Homo-oligomer: A and B are copies of this chain.
């Protein structure tokens, strides 16, 4: 059969180099990778010729031959939010160091799309990093990965019944801490606005919230918990619903940054002042929240670490030789950053002091932590 018309990319191959030097392609191949069988002279000649012809190895051919692609897939709900962007940043950094490329796919918090993306990536990448969409309840697509032998590491939001490494926050403990912080600040009717409770992350955060209420002798009022979604719109609508209750909640524990932002915006619009009339804390770390008026209590940023840890685990799993695997769950150490949105009585230094174990240096602007 005749060679395909080289419509695009008249690429130089090892055969071209071989021909020029009157040697075989296998020798060229070995020379280029410094195989000890090949004479130093030959190696140099080959490399020189390769440079001269501007040879670039055909990655696809290598991939096919080597049965690996040096690519890892990433499926995440959203790209624009500060948190996921920083996760991606962490992943990219590690991948680059280890010579991997990152294929980014967003699910858009949509289960169907997550499904499509996972399948599309599955026969293309060596390993995968996944944060579940807020809609995801079925997890067959991940079992397909297992079956295929593609390592998959979950981060931030992980399924409960799928084997694999995980990198997570201490959802319950942090949910507890954020809620406790509001309680100690004097808030008593604390609402919780978050994602669907079939997600383990949400369940755990909610559990932390409830535990805090209980521990401080506050009633658990189900109407104060809205488990809808992580988005800005979810936050907006949730806020409006909450503000119609009577008595109105006097604080909100937001399950994500977009939710918290929505609360800030809507409260401002409604003329409700934070924190005097409404306390606020977020399970998030968008740097924006340190600059708002008032700055919003939340978590210290760990997105980069989450991404880099997950990527490391994944690559390690890809490259390991042994077959037995003990899957592990890494909980990222993360502490909360108390800011004015949860400090009811401005100027009450006593109160602020009592939180000193949480206090981060950015709280009062002396050492504002702002990362670009």
**A8 contacts B124, CB within 8 Å?**
no
> In the assembled complex, which residues on chain B have CB atoms less than 8 Å from the CB atom of A291?
261, 264-265, 288, 292
| Complex alpha-carbon distance, A79 and B254, angstroms | 25
Q: Answer yes or no: A111 CB below 8 A from chain B CBs.
A: no
A104 within 8 A of B: yes
Cβ of A64 and Cβ of B64 under 8 Å apart?
Answer: yes
Interface 9-mer from A34-42, A147-155, A209-217: A147-155
| Known contacts A63-B63, A365-B269; A148/B56 CB under 8 A | yes
Q: List A residues 233-260 near B (Cβ within 8 Å).
A: 233, 258
Total chain A interface residues with beta-carbon distance under 8 A = 69
A71 to B85, CA, bound (A): 21
Could you tell me the distance between the alpha carbons of A178 and B58 in the complex, rounded to whole angstroms?
48
Knowing A80-B372, A149-B9, the reply to whether A124 touches B365 (Cβ < 8 A) is no
CA distance in complex: A233, B368 (Å):
13
Q: B80 to A101, Cβ gap below 8 A?
A: no
Q: Assuming A63-B63, A64-B60, is B89 touching A101 (CB within 8 A)?
A: no
Across the interface, A86 reaches (CB within 8 A) one of B69, B80, B102, B148, namely B80
Query: Is A105 in the interface zone, CB < 8 Å from B?
Result: yes
Give the CA-CA distance A81 to B117 in the complex, in Å: 25
**In whole angstroms, what is the CA distance A63 to B291 when docked?**
48
What residue in chain B is nearest A122 (Cβ atoms)?
Answer: B56
Q: Is the CB of B288 within 8 A of A123?
A: no
Within 60-98 of A, Cβ neighbours of B (below 8 Å) are at 60-61, 63-64, 67-69, 71, 78-82, 85-86, 88-89, 92, 96
Instruction: Please encode chain A, from 205 to 239, with 1 for each CB lying within 8 Å of some chain B CB and 0 for all others.
Output: 00000000000000000000000000111000000
Does any Cβ of B come within 8 Å of A328's Cβ?
no
**Bound Cα distance from A123 to B62, whole angstroms:** 11
Cβ A104 vs Cβ B102 within 8 A: yes
Q: Which 8 A-B pairs have the closest CB atoms?
A: A232-B372, A293-B293, A288-B288, A60-B63, A56-B123, A60-B64, A9-B149, A258-B372
14 CB < 8 A contacts A-B: A9-B67, A9-B149, A10-B149, A58-B123, A79-B88, A80-B89, A81-B372, A96-B105, A104-B104, A262-B370, A265-B291, A265-B370, A288-B288, A293-B293
Binding site for B on A (CB under 8 A): 4, 7-11, 54, 56-61, 63-64, 67-69, 71, 78-82, 85-86, 88-89, 92, 96, 101-106, 113, 117, 119-124, 144, 147-150, 231-233, 258, 261-262, 264-265, 268-269, 287-288, 291-293, 365, 368, 370-372
